Amino acid sequence: MPTFIKAIGVTVRISAASLFFATIIGIIFGLFKLSNIKPLIFIANAYISIIRGTPLLVQILFIYFGIPMVMGFRWNLMSAGIVIMTINAGAYMTELVRGGIEAVDKGQMEAARSLGLSYPKAMAQVVLPQAFRMMLPSIINQFIVTLKDTSLLSVIGMRELVQNTKIIVANNMEAFTMYAIVGIYYWVIITALSSAASLLERRTTYGK
């Protein structure tokens, strides 16, 4: 039982940290995609295309085993997990951010610019807050996806929920019980997140 609590901690920590950094990446590449600068659009599209077009498992193995071979360093396991999940979720967040910004009425940017705000200021203070409000359900959804995807990190020996369960099953041979339990853990966490999300969503609906 204590190992489970620790493992839940690892799963949640990686997911939360990755989603945080993925949001930043999503904003940067999302703005790339919306810029009129061709090389930036190309970079963003290439990034999304590579991440979408390859299995997460391959990305994990490539980044954890492949890259250090060429670049000559060793990953700290936790950092590797966060970096991998960030890069993966970042691509999906990029599309979310782009969609969110595009969904904000153009007049908002125009009104902010006509008051004298620069593009970055107008983006940060007027457009992005509204975009995020609209994106919130999708962001939570991405968090849930990332949370489940962290289970794949078990292949590089990350002791998150699934890896922890595998180790326990290896000792007590109770595969049915233990995998049922770990499933329930995921379900509880994700259900709690979903309901927290819908609560949050209602609270941030301005004046309606």
Which residues sit at the interface with other proteins, rule CB under 8 A?
Answer: 105, 107-108, 110-118, 121, 125-126, 129-130, 133, 206-208
Minimum distance, C-beta of residue 30 to other proteins, in the bound complex (Å): 19
Which CB atom, from 111 or from 196, has the smaller least distance to other proteins? Answer: 111
Minimum distance, C-beta of residue 132 to other proteins, in the bound complex (Å): 10
d(CA 192, CA 190): 5
Q: Which of 202, 105, 190, 96 is nearest to 149 (CA)?
A: 190
Minimum distance, C-beta of residue 201 to other proteins, in the bound complex (Å): 14
d(CA 53, CA 197): 29
Which CB atom, from 74 or from 203, has the smaller least distance to other proteins? Answer: 203
Which CB atom, from 68 or from 129, has the smaller least distance to other proteins? Answer: 129
Which CB atom, from 157 or from 207, has the smaller least distance to other proteins? Answer: 207
d(CA 6, CA 133): 33
Minimum distance, C-beta of residue 130 to other proteins, in the bound complex (Å): 6
Residues in the chain: 208
d(CA 50, CA 28): 17
39 CB-near residues (< 8 Å, 6+ apart): none
